[in-house]
Amino acid sequence: MGRTFATIRALVARDLLDAVRNSTLFMSGAVGVALAVFIVRIVEHAPRFAAGELPAYACTAALCIPPAFTGCVMLLYVMAEERERGVCLTLAEAGVTPRAFAVSKWLAGTLAALFAQVVACLLLGFSPVQTLGLGAFALVVMQPLLLAGLACGLMATEQMSSSVLAAPLTLVAVAPILSFMSVSVRAVTWLLPLGPAVELVRTAQGLAPIVPVPVLFAVLLFWLIASGALAVWALRRYARQLAAERDRLA
């Protein structure tokens, strides 16, 4: 058990260091933070927002965009690249189990997304208490998106397929932001993985949620279970494929 934890810790440290050194990952994270700040700044003086809506909109931007542009991109892009280059097979030969590999990617993606969210919050002028609160909230509610990203990363075998999978994940992540622009859009987006979280943000700002809060928690729980089940299935599929590759090369 101690060796497994040490392996996971080493892999997470390597992935986070690569996120800084890899220009694609670094720029993707920077773009996510910049976009979150930009879409708030351009509408902060708009008269269309009711009392309490602008703070909720700012929280939503910081909550939804960084995980898509940082966490999911790290999970998808890095995993697909490593699969294509044979790194996954090399790690398996070195004794890294598929489970340890997947857990390390999930942890690295979560930490990177949280860091990007904190930066976005600070640039938006959030207080340290608000930033800490949103980070703690995001740690839970962004997991459906990150677990789906992990599942897609485990299924991707080369970088082109990761690009195809990244598009719907990004769309699902940022769509709840549009709920502030249209009631009809909001009627759909609250059902998406990050939709309940956005409605809970509205509630925290004194705005009425679209459905009762217990329903929001039920939908959030559904997405947590569904994304977790998808990640487990993808991990088992990945383990079988990796074992087949090792047998073929033996």
Residue 52 has pLDDT above 70, yes or no: yes
Q: What is the pLDDT of residue 159?
A: 72
Q: What is the pLDDT of residue 96?
A: 87
Residue-wise pLDDT tens digits, 151-161:
988 988 777 76
Average pLDDT over all residues of the chain:
88
CA distance 134 to 125: 13
Residue 178 has pLDDT above 80, yes or no: yes
CB atoms within 10 A of CB 221: 12
Q: What is the pLDDT of residue 161?
A: 67
CA distance 223 to 141: 9
Q: What is the pLDDT of residue 91?
A: 85
**Band of residue 1 on the pLDDT scale cut at 50, 70, 90:** low
Residue 138 has pLDDT above 90, yes or no: yes
Question: Residue 242: what are its φ and ψ, rounded to 5°?
Answer: -65, -40
- Given the structure tokens 């993808």, which residue do they identify? 234
Closest CA to 157 of 97, 95, 245, 27: 245
Residue 69 has pLDDT above 90, yes or no: no
Q: What is the pLDDT of residue 244?
A: 87
CA distance 64 to 138: 9
List alpha helices for 142-250, DSSP H.
143-155, 159-174, 183-189, 195-204, 213-249
Question: Can you give the pTM of this predicted structure?
Answer: 0.92
Stretch 53-61: mean pLDDT: 91
Q: How far is CA 104 from each of CA 5, 14, 97, 126, 235, rounded to the nearest angstrom?
A: 9, 10, 11, 30, 13
CB atoms within 10 A of CB 100: 19
Lowest mean pLDDT across 41-55, 112-126, 130-144: 41-55
Residue-wise pLDDT tens digits, 203-224:
999 899 999 999 999 999 999 9
Q: What is the pLDDT of residue 43?
A: 83
Lowest mean pLDDT across 28-32, 88-92, 176-180, 191-195: 88-92
Which sequence spans correspond to the domains of the chain?
Answer: 2-249
Q: What is the pLDDT of residue 25?
A: 82
**Band of residue 36 on the pLDDT scale cut at 50, 70, 90:** very high
